[in-house]
Structure 1
Amino acid sequence: MISVCDAKIASKGPNVGLSFYAFFANKNDTPILLMEAATWWIRTHNLDHFEKAVKIKALVENER
């Protein structure tokens, strides 16, 4: 997740937003993992559909 956030920030700047779909090349390949990401995003952190990549990166880093 951190590398995806870093790539988005590098290409589009610090205000770039993304959704949990950004972490999946094909949203249908790993439905269980997609649901885990959605649960983390929505239930655990109560995030909106689009959030700033820097915010997501900080959340992931703080959970390590």
Structure 2
Amino acid sequence: MRTELRTKILQVCADKIAKKGPEVGLSFYAFFANKNDDPPLLMEAARWWIEEQRLDHFEKASKIQRLLSEHP
């Protein structure tokens, strides 16, 4: 996963946890604006989320943070 995407995911997770608590859930769409302005980056996130990690549609933000810290 490219550094740009990893950084964005970690920031979004931190923001969501700060606003809604450690149990907040999100999908990989949370890392993108409502318009699809960067399809390759969206597909990279989807591939990591669905194919590599085999995550459900919604997962806890704290779990996503943990996965990214375990696999730098």
TM-score grouping bracket, smaller chain normalisation: over 0.9
Of 38, 41, 51, the match for 2:49: 41
* Alignment TM-score, normalising by the size of structure 1: 0.93
The one-letter amino acid paired with 1:58 is R
Percent identity over the alignment? 66
C-alpha separation in 2, matches of 1:5 and 1:63: 16
Q: Deviations over 1:21-63 (max 9, x none)?
A: 1111244101111011000000001000000000001111112
What pairs with 1:1-64 in structure 2 (closer than 5 Å)? 1-64=9-72
Determine which structure has greater relative contact order: mean sequence separation of CA pairs < 8 Å that are 6+ residues apart, divided by chain length.
1
What RMSD, in angstroms, separates the aligned Cα atoms of the two structures? 0.9
CA 8–53 in structure 1, closer or farther in 2 if over 3 Å, else same: same
Structure 2 alignment gaps of length 5 or more: 1-8
* Alignment TM-score, normalising by the size of structure 2: 0.84
